[in-house]
Each structure stands twice: as structure tokens, then as C-alpha cells.
Amino acid sequence: MEEKLLEVKDLSVAFNSYLGVAEVLDRISYSVDENQWLGIAGESGCGKTVSAFSLLKLLPEAAMIRNGEILFKGESILDKSEREMRKLRGGEISIVFQEPQSALNPSKRVGENIVESLRLHQGIRGEEAKRRAIQMLDLVKIPQPRVRFSQFPHELSGGMQQRVCIAIALACHPSLLIADEFTTSLDVTTQQEILKLVVDLQRQSTMSVLFITHDLALISECCDELIIMYAGQIMERGKVDRVFRNPSHPYTRLLLNAIPSISRKDEKLNSIDGSVPGLVNPPKGCRFHTRCKQKIPGRCDVVFPRETAIDETHRAWCHLLYT
Amino acid sequence: MDSIVSIRGLKKYFPVKSEALFGKTTWNKAIDGIDLEIQRGEALGVVGESGSGKTTLGKLILGLHAPTEGTIDYRGHDTGRMQSSVVFQDPFSSLNPRQTVFDIVKEPLESVRGTRRGQGFRQTILDILNLVGLSEEQMFRYPHEFSGGQRQRIAIARAIVAKPLFIVFDEPTSGLDVSVQAQILNLLKELKGNSDLSYVFISHNIGVVKYICSRIAVMYRGKIVETSGNQELFDNPLHPYSQHLLSAVPVIDETRMSKIIEFEAKAADEAAVSNGCIYYSKCPIRRDICREKPPQRFDATEGHSVYCWARELDQR
């Protein structure tokens, strides 16, 4: 079996908050293969972003890793020192955030934002760094890269700023790109352009992408596999076409029917009653049981269900799937 | 048909002061010449990208901005009903944190009936709260005790309580999760039913607009480029911008990354923008005339109009 690029095993993360301890991630496990697009989907507060930030050890101080391990290329991330992490971040693993305005340093020119990462990770300086930075701007299809190089971030539109962020993230040829809702603040037409750009760039290189989004349609357009999360637990995972064709968890089915899509005819949307539960004293067992119409009292609200294989890669965690 | 709002030649320019001391003021043309009718009982969707002027149009219709030029005629005040009300995107900032749900929902009733005695409204308010899915014991709570979806229900209760002729919804579900969004959309659809209440529904989420609305207007840079019946727009979009926009909307389906119609980025042609069609520099089907004269409204079929020279010339 080929080695996994990234493996997350039984990861549990909790946050100290003024209301008590919030159990944000509850024993989640997943892996990313080389050259793979993995989508993580879920509603707000389900732990998508926390699971990505824990890969880079970027969690805030209130966070506690309770349990589990994270292996990147076979090495444990949780055991690494801050100095080692700094080399990893932006080098082997990079991240693109939702808001390009706050991800770029506003007091530095666009070019310096890129050169900084080249200097830190690859020791490239001076004219060579400038040449590489302009090359990167050209790669992400920014028109007039030489002019843009010496402009400030605020002079660029949101879509152009996000292109710059992508250029920075890809400058050091990472093996894993974490894309955290990176098209959410953009207009649909710009979103489609940016997504296509990253798909094209990924095809030209050996890079895996961990794509975090609340938009299942975007995942269907670019990911190989996806994970559906709810309130800090994984509900279902598998190849994108299999999961969308044969959603096996009640939550996935409800979620798919709750999306108003332009390809729908006039059928009624399926709403899910209630809202996502608070994570301080979360529901016991499967956390979706409080909103699930098919719950089995005495089981769903007691223990988390075990893994059920639907096919080779398709897995779901639900008591209804076995007896 | 019976129109309740009739908009003619509407323009709204915002001044943009130059940074230089005696610099020249330029104008941001947020709304640049719009004609639109809102029919009684229809749900009109307004879609477009950020900066296309959707929200400004909504505010002009509500009278929250004064137009720079053009007119908005309202009909039906004689019915004694409230003219209009609004539901905003962010239910955290649009509800007064120091008022209870009861007080929030009571306010429109007081302004319509001109009385300050609250208790008589109790039953009316309770009925409205039940209608939007809130219970009696929640009536005297404060907004911070509710989730985002519930707050949006309170805002909707406030909007419908005085039986307005039309309601402007400005991105009412953008801040909500998918599962909660579906609850609110179903509620809005139910409330509307077959009543003569009209909706103006502004959203960048075209799937949401398709679900709620009976007619859709597509905006681009301060102008309406196409208006059409709901399904017609998706079956047969006529304006090249509408086609581009619709092709970019992600859809769950197994043929991946194949739909986007890619346009060659052409350098912006400012002469065309000020004299001719605003979409000239990006348009794949442009003609010479598009550079010189702004397109006029062209009715392709009954209820489907487009502002595009190429489409008009093709059908002549």
C-alpha cells in the first residue's frame, strides 16, 4: 500500500470557553493520499476549520488536543517544535484562507508578500526572488504581473488578492494545500475562475488539496473524495460520485435535499428541524440524533455508531446501517 | 397586470471625493437607469454580483435613499395597509438588543394604527409568532437568547405583522447554515402562498432566488440586463452576461468542471462603457453598434425582455 501523505487518527480537540469545555472534535480520523482532492463539508461549527488548523498547529491557546495523532509523511506533527512547524507552514503545507484582505500584509507590496515566503523557505533573495515572484503572479493569471508586483494589496480586487494568496501558497511547491473556504467571499463568476485555476495548477504538479467548504456543489465539481462532518464528528466519507449518488447517512440525505439548486424543479426543500447543537455538553452518542427523525432511542443517544462499509472507499457511521 | 411599484429611469449616483484637496469629485453610478414594475402578488428576484447595485435598488424602493434621477411610483396606499417592510441579511444587527420580541414585532403595528397602547396587540402578535414558528413563551425574551435562524424568524414576523403591500428581502438567508436556510425559505414560500403580498428578493445565491421567485431580474453594473419568468431564464438565458453568470453557479453533478463558459479577458473599453453597452468589453457576441448606442429594452417573448443589441438584431 502506498504511503499516505497525511493521516489523522482519533483526533479530539476541546476548547476552553467561558461556558465550559467545548468538545469541538470528537475522535475524527481521515487520510489524504498524494495528488488527491479531499473535501471536508459541513455546516458552521462542525469543526471543519479546527481540523485543518490542527494540522498546522495553529490552534488558539484555549484549545487542547485531548487525544489522537497527526502524521504528515510518516512524521508526527504534534511532536514537532514550533521552529520545525515554521519550516513546514508555507513550505510543505500551505494554506489559503477565506479573506484575502486579512491574509495579505497591507503595508507590504504584493511582490514583497510573495518574496518573503521564498526567502524564508528556500533562501532565495534579490533579483532571483523577484523573478520567481513575477513568475508566480503570471502562473496565477494576474494580468501585468510586473505592475502588480509593486502595487499594494488594497489596489487589487478581491479575486486578484485571492490569486496573490494562491501564488504565495504555491511559491514553495507544497505537497499539501489547505483551502479553507477560499472562494466563499468571492462572486460566483470569480469563484469559478479561481477554482478552475487551482484545479489546473494541481494537475500540473504533485500536490494534494484539502478543500474545506460548506458548499457541497463546489465539492462535487472538483474533489475526488469528501467527508461530511456534523458537530465535530464524521458522518460519512467516500468518493464524491458515490456519496452523491447513494448518500447513506440520514444527515447527508437531508443536507442534499436542503440545498436550493438551479437544477431543481419546483419541489419542496427538505429542512432539518432545529439547529446545530452547542458543543459544551454536546448530545451523547451520535450528535445528530437530536435532529434525526429516524433515531433509535437507547442506541443513537448512547454510543457513537461503528464504521459501516458501503463499498471499497465509501464509509458511513450510523446505527441504521447495521443491526 | 396590476403593478404596485413602477420605476422609471431610476438613477442613483454616489459622490466619490478625490483624495487631493481640491480634487474633482467623481461619481459612482450605483444605479444607472432602471425601468422596472413590481406586480401585485409576485415574488421578484434580483440577482447580480456584489457591486451590481442590488442593495441600492432595494433601498431606493424602500425610500431609504433619494434617487438622483427618475421616479418611483407607489400605488395602493388607499388600501390603508402599510406600504413596505424589509428583512435584512444580518439578524444580529437588525434587531434592537434592548427590546423583547414582543416590542420588536409591536412597533410596525403602532406606526400603522397610530396608537401607543400595546396590550391590544397581544393576540395579533402571538398569531404572527406562531405563524413564523415561534412560541408564546419566547415572546418576552431578548434577541441574544435566539439562534441566527430564530432571529431571522423574528425579523420576518416584524416584516409581515402590519400586512404590507410588499417586502424587500436583502440576502435574508446568506448568514444561515444550509439546513436552517431551508427552514426559512420554506417559511417564506408558505407565508407568500397565493396572497397578494409581493416580494422583492435580493440575493447573490441564484439557487435561492430560483426557489422563491416567480420572476427574476439580472443586474450588472447598475443596470438591469434581463428580466424573465423564473424557469424561462434557466432554460433560455438571452443576455451573454446572464449566460456567463448561470454557467458559473456550482451544481451537484458528476460531470465536473466542464460547464464554465470562459471569456477571453478583453481590455476594458471605457468609451463603450460611457456611450454604449456596459458589457461591451467582455461580450463574446458584440457588434459595432454596441460600442456607440446603449441597448434598448427588447421583448424577446411575452414577459422575457433583454437589453442586448445582438439579440435584437438577430430576431429582426
As for the ipTM of the complex, it is 0.84
Comparing B90 with B120, which gets the higher pLDDT? Answer: B90
> Mind telling me how many Å the CA of B182 is from chain A's nearest CA?
5
What whole-number distance in Å separates Cα of residue B178 and Cα of residue B188? 15
pLDDT at res. B50: 86
Burial of A123 (0-12, 13-18, 19+ CB in 10 A): exposed
pLDDT at B229 over 90: yes
> Mind telling me how many Å the CA of B109 is from chain A's nearest CA?
29
Q: How many domains does chain A have?
A: 2
Residue range B293-300: mean pLDDT, rounded: 92
Which of A173, A194, A218 marks a domain boundary? A173
CB atoms near residue A229 (< 10 Å):
24
Residue A1 within any structural domain of the chain:
no
Which of A140, A173, A206 marks a domain boundary? A173
Q: Which range marks the domain in which residue A61 is found?
A: 6-92+174-322
Residue range A207-214: mean pLDDT, rounded: 94
Residue A39 within any structural domain of the chain:
yes
Lowest mean pLDDT across A49-53, A80-84, B50-54, B113-117: B113-117
- Same domain for A230 and A297, yes or no, is yes
CB pairs A-B closer than 8 Å? 120
The values of phi and psi at residue B220, to 5°, are -145, 120
- Same domain for A43 and A186, yes or no, is yes
- Same domain for A166 and A195, yes or no, is no
pLDDT digits (tens, 9 = 90+) for A157-189: 888 999 999 999 999 999 999 999 999 888 888
pLDDT at B120 over 80: no
Which grid coordinates belong to A160?
A: 486578484
pLDDT at res. B114: 62
Say which of A43, A196, A254 has its CB closest to residue B260: A196
Which grid coordinates belong to A81?
A: 517544535
pLDDT digits (tens, 9 = 90+) for A24-44: 999 999 999 999 999 999 888
- Same domain for A97 and A109, yes or no, is yes
> Mind telling me how many Å the CA of B181 is from chain A's nearest CA?
8
Contact A220 B182 (CB under 8 A): no
Residues in B closer than 8 angstroms to A261, CB to CB, are: 207, 210, 251-252
- Same domain for A68 and A183, yes or no, is yes
Name the strands in the sheet holding A20-32, side by side, starting at the edge strand that comes first in the sequence. Answer: A20-32, A6-17, A63-72, A75-76
Which of A145, A173, A201 marks a domain boundary? A173
- Same domain for A169 and A183, yes or no, is no
Contact A222 B256 (CB under 8 A): yes
CATH number at residue A50: 3.40.50.300
pLDDT at B254 over 70: no
Q: Mean pLDDT over all residues of chain B?
A: 87
pLDDT at A99 over 90: no
Which region, left, alpha or beta, applies to residue B313 given φ > 0 means left and ψ of -120 to 50 means alpha?
alpha
pLDDT digits (tens, 9 = 90+) for A236-294: 999 999 999 999 999 999 999 899 988 877 678 888 888 888 888 999 999 999 999 99
What ranges do the domains of chain B cover? 3-17+29-83+165-314, 97-162
Residues in A closer than 8 angstroms to B147, CB to CB, are: 275
- Same domain for A193 and A313, yes or no, is yes
Read off the DSSP letter of residue B136: G
pLDDT at res. B104: 94
SS3 B305: strand
Percentage of chain B exceeding pLDDT 90: 58
Contact present, A11 and A208 (Cβ < 8 Å): no
Instruction: Give the angle A152-A153-A155 at the CA atoms, nearest 5°.
Output: 75
pLDDT at A301 over 60: yes
pLDDT at B68 over 80: yes
Instruction: Give the angle A34-A97-A42 at the CA atoms, nearest 5°.
Output: 75
| Full-model pTM | 0.88
Residues in B closer than 8 angstroms to A268, CB to CB, are: 186
pLDDT at res. B115: 58
Residues in A closer than 8 angstroms to B244, CB to CB, are: 189
- Whole-Å CA distances, A155 to A42, A147, A228, B266: 34, 11, 38, 20
- b or e along B70-100 (b: 16 or more beta carbons within 10 Å of the residue's beta carbon)? bebeeebeeeeebbbbbbbbbbeebbeeeeb
Q: Mean pLDDT over all residues of chain A?
A: 91
Residue A283 within any structural domain of the chain:
yes
Residue A255 within any structural domain of the chain:
yes
- Same domain for A178 and A43, yes or no, is yes
A190 to chain B: closest CA residue? B248
- Same domain for A199 and A318, yes or no, is yes
- Same domain for A200 and A306, yes or no, is yes
Q: How confident is the model at residue B39 (pLDDT cuts 50, 70, 90)?
A: very high
**Homologous superfamily in CATH for domain B3-17+29-83+165-314:** P-loop containing nucleotide triphosphate hydrolases (3.40.50.300)
pLDDT at res. B77: 64
pLDDT digits (tens, 9 = 90+) for B8-35: 999 999 988 777 777 788 888 999 999 9
Residue A19 within any structural domain of the chain:
yes
SS3 A69: strand
- Same domain for A197 and A246, yes or no, is yes
Residues in chain B whose beta carbon is closer than 8 A to a beta carbon of chain A?
Answer: 49-50, 147-150, 177-183, 185-186, 204-208, 210-211, 234, 244-254, 256-257, 260, 265
- Whole-Å CA distances, B57 to A46, B168, B219, B223: 36, 10, 10, 10
pLDDT at A107 over 50: yes
pLDDT at res. A1: 47
Residues in A closer than 8 angstroms to B237, CB to CB, are: none
- Same domain for A159 and A299, yes or no, is no
